[in-house]
Amino acid sequence: MARRRKRSGLVAGVDLGGTKVTFGIVNEDGKILAMDKRKTKATTGIEGVLDRVVEGLERACTEAESELGDLDAVGIGAPSAVDFEEGVVIHAGNLGWKNVPLRRLLEDRLDLPVLVDNDVNVAAWGEFTAGAARGWPDALGVWVGTGIGSGLILGGNVWRGAFHTAGELGQMVLQPRGGLGRRTVEEHCSRLAMIRSMETLIGSHPQSRMRTALSRTPEAGPIGSSVIADAYRAGDELVLRVVDDAADLLGLAIANAVTLLSVRGVVLGGGVTDALGKPFVERVRESFEWHVFPATLRKCRIVAADLGDSAGIVGAAALARAHIVGRG
Amino acid sequence: MARRRKRSGLVAGVDLGGTKVTFGIVNEDGKILAMDKRKTKATTGIEGVLDRVVEGLERACTEAESELGDLDAVGIGAPSAVDFEEGVVIHAGNLGWKNVPLRRLLEDRLDLPVLVDNDVNVAAWGEFTAGAARGWPDALGVWVGTGIGSGLILGGNVWRGAFHTAGELGQMVLQPRGGLGRRTVEEHCSRLAMIRSMETLIGSHPQSRMRTALSRTPEAGPIGSSVIADAYRAGDELVLRVVDDAADLLGLAIANAVTLLSVRGVVLGGGVTDALGKPFVERVRESFEWHVFPATLRKCRIVAADLGDSAGIVGAAALARAHIVGRG
């Protein structure tokens, strides 16, 4: 695309989630100058969500003492497999979107070049270019939250694969005889899986401080990462058992991925990892080192993410800069 | 390296195994003009093995009505993790080699440019450039024999990873509670694992035609793939059970790899696959389709290798041509 105007050096990064959308204006040094956040309100449909994306971008630009037309590009991470070349969101379950040409729709509205990729791909790219994985030749990013997502950086680029779906570590089957709903990594190690394990085991842990939280009505929503983390730090036996089991299996899954890929390191991010902190990362690493092959791979680094919530924004902006501005 | 002479278009491919070494002279069309095969005799040490490699190459050249000095390059696949940049064999258990600078040693002897890579990497490259995976953008090669090896082709290149060990699908742990010696893919799905399963189960299958073979003394060596395949085709219940279980778990392991990598297809090779043929490949594919995620990945192709025993020769020659002659 021919440049229509002088470059400002400013790129917007957008992290489009099922519940909220966050926006950041990022300068050439990778610094976030301004941010905005708003509810996704997926029930308002595609046009409704796009309205809020444009509003959020405008607001963030104003905060950065700039305006939409000054941006060099917009990068956006979506919770879905994405056809990267076409900028199409293939299937975003928690948005109710299927084959949505997000890049074209946003380019029409913004009159700016737009890049769309999977949300965990862009978060991993953020950590790779400006966070915990900076300087590595390649990396696996694993995000543990409500579910489990992962992103692969191979040979200095996001690896998306022939079917645009690469990185589904959470969908690897580790317990082939585990029964329906209890076979995949995500079904054992995500926040929702941890809560389900606690529900199953609460009977044999009557003293657990989780008893009240677990007996809440479904309307109260699932238990948050911080509640789990507080009980974990307090040494609650039920929570220790469930979290440690999840960390052990996650470490095994990561070992399998590294055994296959021989990457330099693994970044652990997401709400559960951030809340549980260092003891969780250590436990994952121990299991990883136990299971990985060959022994030289124990040198593969397993570290916590650096950028927290803003990995998606930073990564989406950096990816747009590399792909659109860099070759513009 | 500056070219010292006019190019002949001829490249040698060498498949260095623990038991035998095979050689082929390959022309620019990828056709094997002549072959040679000899025992490795690893017990004679590095120099002894190198003597036989040089002899085999000379003999194959003579067969091709050419001579060693006419070759543009030599490519060699070794049963080990290989430092590809340095041409060093890191650890070849069945040769008793550790950190052997094979490229330098052979270049000194041959006065020809030499390329060294892992044996399954070069076999996968052979299938990718001239066999079952020709035309695919990327591929996973899985070789089922005495053990299980695998090679990854990503973005049109062999993926070796930061630690030179990528592709160890056989070392992925799928049965974390399977007990020592019964946890990895290789410990369930290789020929040696199949034989061990038969030994365990023979008591409940007294009619099995494997009874005699299983009661042989260790000196007779492990049961060969063709014996297993004959019993499989004859409908021997013990063998059907063991082979089908192995195929099911292998399909699961391949599904996990494809879920992570989203590659276009998978090539199944190796002695066990070649002997068992189509029913084995079909069974692996069924399990793969059952376990892979998301559903679009069921379009990933699972096919038998085309080149049989010569995949290593063809691949080693093609890789040497691409890396040495191509940029020479």
User: Choosing among B88, B152, B165, B189, which should be mutated to test the A contact, i.e. which has the most A CBs within 10 A?
Assistant: B165
* pLDDT higher than threshold 80 for residue A176: no
Question: Is the backbone peptide bond immediately before A294 cis, with ω within 30 degrees of 0?
Answer: yes
CA distance A2 to B306: 47
Q: What pLDDT is recorded for position A175?
A: 79
> Which of B161, B169, B299 is closest, CB to CB, to A263?
B161
Domain assignments of chain B as residue spans, ordered by start? 11-126+310-325, 135-305
How much is the average pLDDT of B103-114?
97
Contacts of B212 (CB under 8 A, 6+ apart): none
Q: What pLDDT is recorded for position A328?
A: 45
ipTM over 0.90: yes
How much is the average pLDDT of A108-134?
97
Chain A partners within 8 Å of B296 (Cβ) = 81, 163, 165
How many angstroms from the chain centroid is the CA of residue B220? 24
* pLDDT higher than threshold 60 for residue B74: yes
Could you give the percent of chain A with pLDDT greater than 70? 98
User: Minimal CA–CA distance to B116: which of B142, B139, B90?
Assistant: B90
Nearest CA in chain B to A250: B176
Tell if the CB–CB gap between A162 and B263 is shorter than 8 Å. yes
Q: What pLDDT is recorded for position A321?
A: 96
* pLDDT higher than threshold 90 for residue B288: yes
End-to-end CA distance of chain A: 6
pLDDT, averaged across chain A: 94
How much is the average pLDDT of A136-161?
96
Phi, psi of B176, rounded to the nearest 5 degrees: -55, -25
Tell if the CB–CB gap between A152 and B184 is shorter than 8 Å. no
How much is the average pLDDT of B112-133?
97
Q: Which of residues 92-151 of A touch B (CB under 8 A)?
A: 136-138, 150
Measure A103 CA to nearest chain B CA, in Å: 22
Strand A11-16, strand A73-78: pairing: parallel
pLDDT tens-place string over residues B33-71: 999 999 999 999 999 999 999 999 999 999 999 999 999
Distances A262 to A127, A228, B108, B152, B324 between C-alpha atoms, Å: 19, 33, 31, 11, 25
User: Choosing among A163, A185, A263, which should be mutated to test the B contact, i.e. which has the most B CBs within 10 A?
Assistant: A163
User: Minimal CA–CA distance to A87: which of A75, A98, A103, A99?
Assistant: A103
Q: Tell which CATH classification among 1.10.490.10, 3.30.420.40, 3.40.50.720, 3.40.50.300 matches the domain A134-305.
A: 3.30.420.40
Tell if the CB–CB gap between B176 and A172 is shorter than 8 Å. no
Nearest CA in chain A to B294: A165
For residues A148 and A271, the answer to whether their CB atoms sit within 8 Å is: no
> Domain spanning B11-126+310-325 has what CATH number?
3.30.420.40
Using a CB–CB cutoff of 8 Å, tell me whether B240 touches chain A: no
Nearest CA in chain B to A253: B173
pLDDT tier for residue A2 given thresholds of 50, 70 and 90: very low
pLDDT tier for residue B5 given thresholds of 50, 70 and 90: low
pLDDT tens-place string over residues A13-35: 999 998 899 999 999 999 999 99
Contacts of B1 (CB under 8 A, 6+ apart): B113, B324, B328
CA distance A101 to A85: 11
Chain A partners within 8 Å of B250 (Cβ) = none
Chain B partners within 8 Å of A164 (Cβ) = 262
Written as six digits, the tokens of B10 are: 């001829």
Residue type, A275: A
Contacts of B195 (CB under 8 A, 6+ apart): B214, B222, B223, B228
Helices (H), chain A: 45-63, 102-110, 119-130, 186-189, 191-201, 211-214, 225-233, 237-261, 271-276, 278-291, 311-320
Q: What pLDDT is recorded for position B328?
A: 45
Nearest CA in chain B to A137: B162
Phi, psi of A157, rounded to the nearest 5 degrees: -135, 155
Q: What pLDDT is recorded for position B327?
A: 59
How much is the average pLDDT of B251-263?
97
Kindly report which listed range (A214-218, A222-226, B43-47, B295-299) carries the lowest average pLDDT score. A214-218
pLDDT tens-place string over residues B141-163: 999 999 999 999 999 999 999 99
How much is the average pLDDT of B209-216?
92
CA distance A107 to A59: 18
Distances B27 to A37, A175, A280, B116 between C-alpha atoms, Å: 62, 48, 56, 19
pLDDT, averaged across chain B: 94
Measure A6 CA to nearest chain B CA, in Å: 34
Contacts of B188 (CB under 8 A, 6+ apart): B174, B175, B178, B182, B197, B245, B246, B249
Measure A10 CA to nearest chain B CA, in Å: 31
Using a CB–CB cutoff of 8 Å, tell me whether B295 touches chain A: no
How much is the average pLDDT of A82-99?
94
Answer positive or negative: Cα dihedral of B28, B32, B33, B36: positive
pLDDT tier for residue A218 given thresholds of 50, 70 and 90: confident
Q: Does domain B135-305 have CATH number 3.30.420.40?
A: yes
Q: What pLDDT is recorded for position B216?
A: 85
Q: What pLDDT is recorded for position B2?
A: 47
Give the H/E segment covering residue A20.
strand A20-26
* pLDDT higher than threshold 70 for residue B283: yes
DSSP-derived letter for residue B41 is -
pLDDT tens-place string over residues A236-256: 999 999 999 999 999 999 999
How much is the average pLDDT of A65-74?
96
How much is the average pLDDT of A140-157?
96
Could you give the percent of chain B with pLDDT greater than 90? 88
Tell if the CB–CB gap between B165 and A296 is shorter than 8 Å. yes
Written as six digits, the tokens of A302 are: 């397993």
Higher-pLDDT residue of B7, A272: A272
Using a CB–CB cutoff of 8 Å, tell me whether B80 touches chain A: no
| Equal fold, B11-126+310-325 vs B135-305 | yes
Measure A71 CA to nearest chain B CA, in Å: 32
Using a CB–CB cutoff of 8 Å, tell me whether B294 touches chain A: yes
Strand B88-92, strand A88-92: pairing: unpaired
What DSSP line would sit under B113-140, residue for residue? -EEEEEHHHHHHHHHHHHSTTTT-S-EE
* pLDDT higher than threshold 50 for residue B113: yes
Tell if the CB–CB gap between B293 and A261 is shorter than 8 Å. no
Q: What pLDDT is recorded for position A327?
A: 59
Tell if the CB–CB gap between B293 and A160 is shorter than 8 Å. no
DSSP SS3 for A222 = coil
